[in-house]
Amino acid sequence: MTDTDDSNYDTKRPMELALYGGSFNPPHLGHCSAVETVLQELHPDRLLIMPDSEPPHKVMEDGSPSPEERLELCRLAFTEGGSVEISDLEILRNGKSYTYDTVCELQEMYPGVRLTLVVGTDMFLSFEEWYHFEYLLEHCRIAVLARELDDDEQLHETAERFRRDYAADAVVLTHTPFPMSSTEIRSLLRRRTGRDCLPEAVYARIIRKRLYDAQPELAWLREQAYTMLNERRIAHVAGCESEAIELARRWGEDPELAAEAGILHDITKRLSYEEQLNLCAKYGIICDHAELAAPKLLHAKTGAAVAGDLFGAGEAVTEAIRWHTTGKPDMTLLEKIIYLADYIEPTRDFPGVEDLRTLAYEDIDRAMLLGLQMSVNEIRRDGREPYHDTLDACAWYQERAEEQK
């Protein structure tokens, strides 16, 4: 548990400690709003936000992050300091997270403490099913936050019954419910939405780790990627994305994966040679002499690594980024799409580009051959030797074209 400075507490009165627990799977803006309500209405000396290890009242959805990961998400979601503290008490205990055990442990840690349990509608209405609930009602105040706008009447009736039947201290906080549950948000994340329900840092980590099988909102991905580009390159990257989407639709690839790869394909292009080498060292990228002699080649490898690390891009996307400059034999459909989209996007203007654009929508393998041949010829005109992967790719697509005659 995080240490907190207790010097501002009045030692002549009991510490007012509020406990806000849950699975926080993930922590969202509704949880943040709940914390603000607790602070404003209860003014606790300390508010513990405590993700559980294994909730006893429900089965965690398959694929949910580990307790340690949910703890990290909570640290990103809630601003610690003052009276707010993120606690790992239940996670360190392991096993089912019974509130009774937590309360007993807190009572030992803070003798004489006055505890308030902060719960939502569902937990409050099922409170009598909790482990040792009578002990909790006797030793804790229960503060409930409505989950729906029409919950208040039922909550007040239940609070009155608890006061009457158990002499409990139960209060209903004045709170505007958040319109989304964690379950709904997890579903949204899989459909490239839900960002507006989460703190920015939480969303960024979910995408980076691809928690909940989350897929990034493309608008957010553009925002992140464009900050990594030279301003003059943004138009090219936007054009590559749009061209990749159209090619994907034409040839039956996932347009959203094509968009991801198009957005991210040049994210390390602006970096200096030294910065490229530093990334190679960081990600264990092995470079041959030809790549070290031609810094332009490095950005495809480093870009693929950064796309996977910072944005959780999967193998299909990272490999498309990896090969978008040189090409290679027997490329996947997405790899071919990104190679060609980078070559023919609308801002490109060079002799032969219109023929290549037309061919890309008629025969993608023949377009690959033409694009590779054009690249080889341009490199040789500049007095340089083409990279071996490009030559190998050119030979592979040439052989394929001859087989199809």
- Whether residue 332 contacts residue 252, with contact meaning beta carbons closer than 8 Å, is answered with no
What does the buried/exposed string (b/e) look like for 347-375 if buried means 16 or more CB atoms within 10 Å of the residue's CB?
ebeeeebeebbebbeeebeebbbbbbebb
pLDDT digits (tens, 9 = 90+) for 118-142: 999 999 999 999 999 999 999 999 9
The whole-number pLDDT of residue 10 equals: 54
The pLDDT value recorded for residue 150 is 81
> Is 290 in the same domain as 143?
no
- Predicted pLDDT at 7: 45
- pLDDT for 41: 95
Per the domain annotation, does 192 fall within a domain? no
On whether residue 138 sits in a domain, the answer given is: yes
85 located within any domain: yes
pTM: 0.92
Evaluate whether residue 263 is within a structural domain. yes
Question: At 107, which CATH number?
Answer: 3.40.50.620
Q: pLDDT per residue over 158-183, tens digit each?
A: 999 999 999 999 999 998 989 899 99
Q: Do 286 and 362 lie in a common domain?
A: yes
Boundary-marking domain end, from 148, 167, 185:
185
The total domain count for the chain is 2
Which residue intervals of 80-120 are DSSP H helices? 89-93, 99-109
How far apart (Å, rounded) are the C-alpha atoms in residues 44 and 35?
11
Residue 352 lies in a domain: yes
Residues of the chain with pLDDT under 70: 1-12
Structure tokens at 350: 């060079």
261 & 332 share domain: yes
> What is the domain extent for residue 324?
231-403
Q: What is the pLDDT of residue 147?
A: 85
Residues 157, 263 within the same domain = no
**DSSP-derived 3-state class of residue 184:** helix
Q: Give the pLDDT confidence of 8-58 residue by residue, as tens digits.
A: 455 567 899 999 999 999 999 999 999 999 999 999 999 999 999 887 777
226: CB partners within 8 A, 6+ apart: 234, 237
In CATH, what number is assigned to the domain containing residue 283?
A: 1.10.3210.10
Judge whether 268 lies within some domain: yes
Same structural domain, 250 and 365:
yes
The dihedral over CA atoms of 36, 42, 48, 49, expressed in degrees to the nearest 10, equals -40
Q: How much is the pLDDT for 3?
A: 42
pLDDT at 129: 94
pLDDT of amino acid 228: 98
Q: Is residue 218 part of a domain?
A: no
